[in-house]
Structure 1
Amino acid sequence: MSDIYDLITKRMDLLTREKEVFADNILRSSVPGEREKVIKFKNLVTHGGATPKAQATGLKSTNKNHLSLSTHLGSTRMTTKKTDSDVSLSGNTINAEDQLRKINDATTKYYEMTSLYQSYMRRHNTVITGR
C-alpha cells in the first residue's frame, strides 16, 4: 500500500517543481527577449526518474536515506516554449497573469493531493487502531 503514498508524494514533488518554474517565469517576465520555460512530460518519462548525467555516469544511491543526484526532481528538464503569439514589444513571450493562473492551478492540485494523502493516513489509522 506504500505505492499509493509514493505516487502521491511524487505528484506533490512535481507540482512543487512546476510552481517553481512558473514563479521563475514571472520573475523573468519583464526581461526583454525572455521566453516561457515549461517542464516537458517526455523528459520525466524518458529519464525514468534519473538525471541524464546520473544515468551516463552510472551513479546510484547506496542508501535510501542519502540524497542523490537521481531524485526525480532533478529529472525535470526545462525547455523554452516556442511561440510567437502574444510577443511584447521587448520580444518577451511570458504572460505573468497566465503564469499566476498556472501557479493557482498547481496549488489547488497540491492541496488535493494533500487531502488524498491525509485520507489514506486516516484509513490506515482506522485499520490499525480499530477505531
Structure 2
Amino acid sequence: MSSQRTPRPTMTMVYDGQCPMCRRFVRLQRLRRDVGELELVDARQESAARRELSERGIDLDEGFALRIGEQWVHGGEALHRLALMSTGSGLFNRTMARLFASPRRTARLYPWLCRGRSILLRLLGRGPIDNLRRR
C-alpha cells in the first residue's frame, strides 16, 4: 500500500490589490479544505500570472481571474466557482455562496459589482490596472 497522496489542485486568484472591496473579499473568503491552497496575486504588481493573463487577452479591469489547475476563469465565472468552493462558514461566506451559486444570477449581478468597483476606484483617485497595455 502506497502512502503517497495525490497533490491538491493549485489555484491562483489575481485581484486588484488597490480596491478596498476586492481586498476585503479576499480577506473574508473561506474555501473548503479539499480545494487546496489558494495563491493570491495583486494584479497591479508584475507577476507570471499577470503576464499570462495579458497574453491571453484577459482584461483584469473587467474582473478578477482564477486559475484552477491549468484553466483560467474570469469575472463572473470566477466568482461563481469561488461561491461553489466556499465553506459557507460565517455570514459573509454563506451570503456569497447563496448569492453566487447560480451562474445565471452571477452573470446578472457581476457587471454591477464591476461598476461599483470602477466608481469606488475613481473616487479614491486610483487608475485602471491596464494589464493589456502594449509596452
Could you say whether these structures have the same fold, taking a TM-score greater than 0.5 normalized by the shorter chain as the test? no
* Bigger proportion of residues as helix: 1
* Bigger proportion of residues as strand: 2
Structure with the larger RCO, 1 or 2 (CA within 8 Å, 6+ apart)? 1
Structure with larger Rg: 1
